[in-house]
Amino acid sequence: MNGEIGTVVVVGSGHAAVEAALASRRLGLETTIVALNVAKVSSMPCNPSIGGPGKAQIVSEIDALGGEMALATDHATTSMRLLNASKGPAVQSLRAQVDKKVYAAHMRRALGEAGVRMVQGMVRDILVGKDGRACGVRLRDGRELRGDVVVLATGVYLESRVIIGEKILDSGPIGEPASHGLSASLKGLGVVMGRFKTGTSPRIKRGSISWGELSIEEGTDRPYAFSFMSKPRVWESEVCYSTYTNEATHKVIRKNVHRSPLLNGTIEGIGPRYCPSIEDKVVRFPHRARHQIYLEIECGDSDDVYLLGLSTSLPEDVQLEMVRSLPGMARAVISVPGYAIEYDYVVPSQLRPTLELKEIPGLFTAGQINGSSGYEEAAAQGLIAGINAAMTVMGKEPVVLQRDEAYIGVLIDDITRTPIREPYRMLTGRAEYRLLLRQSNADTRLTPLGRRIGLVSDERWECFRIKEGQMETARALLRKRRGGEAVWDLLRNPRYSLADFFPEIPELRDLPSGVLSEVEIEAKYQGFIERQEREARRLARYRGKAIPPGLDVARVVGLSKEGQDKLRKHSPATLGRALEIGLSPSDAMILLAYLRGGGER
């Protein structure tokens, strides 16, 4: 940069854009956000919650790297639940119901404190210099904003249209304007675009609900927090309620299937398989008697309640009839109907693992423009895009997380290497090393990297060092002998818990519960953790392993059908090439074992 301060232009104002802007600004670059509406920062057009399986791990990784989402979540949480509590630590995940206005206010304040400049306008064109590098954007009103790099985090706004029954609106989410022109600019630069669809549920007036007829979904009675910088506590402000659809609900849907834009061909974009609309559920699973619906209060000073699980694009009159068939909602009033939204996205196989477009240096994309879904997935991509945009300007090495390092690494590897045919959603099942990638150890895994990058503050680093010291103290105490055997080894027996040894090791009581919980997991699962670490190293070591031409993949026992199809279609010459064309690491391990075992000579 020759001593000059570099500049980053971020397009968008959602979760990806905010994390990208905060990262680049905190790394010392002048950063500008260009948004359709600067008042709409980190909005939640779908349900007001953060976390869940796979997603909670991402939020904690963002936090460990110095991002903001976990801190904002803790600031805005109204109720917290620990999902999969009865299962192993690899899949246990926090999920927070949040006040979406408080969350957005936290992010606006963070942007202001960081010194991010905000500009309102619609971006129509990407400016590219004679060297082929992105160098800024042009707005619809003719203004130009120059930058050393550009990050596109436009969400679902590109050429978007909202669909409610027979009604089709030129619109973004919840009445926001659609973004016109930018898709054409990208296509003109040779970028391949696709079209996806997502949807939302109706919002109901709080006062029109008979709450006594609903089931209460209690939050956890144990103290938790998303951020490693927050003090864990029990969240008791609001609770979540639930109800179920019934035969009357399903009858309303079945008699109006012909009016469903999703099922009658009006909607062209492909929707998320793991988050189907209620009409899709009823049609696809005709023998299922009911589907659970969660009622989530959006914010303290709003009358709106979000019906999670009732995503729909049916006409408004059908939605009202359907909602009023639910227990507790005979007199329900819909404040905002559910809708489907179609939008353009960048086919993400055109991206480097840094989230920079291969053919347009200096142009990064993050979030739903990359074909993903979810606030958490968007924020993670925004953070990495913002970091790498800054690294590019500063002439430093980019940050690329591997699959055995972070869920974020799994996410980016999946979308950039594997063809996606629907909006990508993170699931714990996508991470083959998920026991290594626990939500609870994200700080241990990633805080040192965040420190090297320059995003982890002195305060956060000191807290991390204190916790690491406490972990070492706990490990040393547990390795003490008890009747000839170390407590560490005894903990592998499921009959024992750490609390059983408090009487004979009273010093343990002086350590934080989070430290004790994490060390107990390390002790109980040591064998499994070490095995996954060996598998990760082995896969990295054998990327150059040759795959014989004409391999009969049907003979590889345990290989998934999807893996077989990819190997037949592409005939990769090496294991590394197989991974690049989308073979899952779990399939790669099966194939490697087969080849090393002499399956092909």
Residues 6+ apart with CB under 8 A from 516: 474, 498, 508
Residues 6+ apart with CB under 8 A from 175: none
Residue 532 CA, chain-centre distance (Å), reads 23
- 227 and 328 inside one domain: yes
- 20 and 130 inside one domain: yes
CA dihedral 263, 430, 59, 118 (to 10 degrees): -60
What CATH number is given to the structural domain containing 133? 3.50.50.60
Domain extent at residue 591: 542-596
- 250 and 370 inside one domain: no
Q: Tell me the average confidence (pLDDT) per consecutive run of 10 residues in the chain, 601 residues long.
A: 74 98 98 95 94 96 98 95 89 94 97 97 97 97 97 97 93 91 97 94 96 89 92 78 96 93 76 82 92 93 93 95 97 96 96 97 98 97 98 97 95 90 91 92 97 97 97 94 84 92 92 94 93 86 89 91 89 86 83 79 37
Residue 568 lies in a domain: yes
Which has the closest alpha carbon to 380: 425, 318, 435? 425
What CATH number is given to the structural domain containing 584? 1.10.150.570
- 336 and 371 inside one domain: no
- 213 and 101 inside one domain: no
Residues 6+ apart with CB under 8 A from 520: 491, 497, 498
For 341, 399, 543, the CA distances from 582, given in Å and listed in that order, are 28, 21, 14
Question: Cα separation of 378 and 371, whole Å?
Answer: 10
- 324 and 356 inside one domain: no
Which tokens belong to 160? Answer: 């978007």
- 49 and 107 inside one domain: yes
Q: Which residues, in sequence order, are bridge partners of residue 163?
A: 168, 340
CB contact at 8 A, 368 and 423 = yes
What CATH number is given to the structural domain containing 235? 2.40.30.260
Region class of 157: left (phi > 0), else alpha (psi between -120 and 50), else beta: alpha
- 113 and 248 inside one domain: no
- 308 and 257 inside one domain: yes
- 323 and 351 inside one domain: no
Question: Cα separation of 449 and 241, whole Å?
Answer: 40
Give the per-residue pLDDT at 371.
96
The H-or-E segment that residue 199 falls in is strand 193-199
- 520 and 560 inside one domain: no
Residue 377 lies in a domain: yes
Give the per-residue pLDDT at 267.
77
Give the per-residue pLDDT at 202.
97
Residue 174 lies in a domain: no
Question: Cα separation of 119 and 460, whole Å?
Answer: 31
Answer with the one of 325, 341, 357 that is the final residue of a domain.
341
In eight-state DSSP terms, residue 195 is E
Domain count of the fold of the chain: 4
CB contact at 8 A, 100 and 76 = yes
- 293 and 228 inside one domain: yes
Residues 6+ apart with CB under 8 A from 373: 198, 272, 275, 423, 424, 425
Question: Cα separation of 598 and 585, whole Å?
Answer: 20
Give the per-residue pLDDT at 234.
86
DSSP characters for 53-117? Answer: TTHHHHHHHHHHTT-SHHHHHHHHEEEEEEETTTS-TTT-EEEEEE-HHHHHHHHHHHHHHHT-E
Which tokens belong to 581? Answer: 């064309």
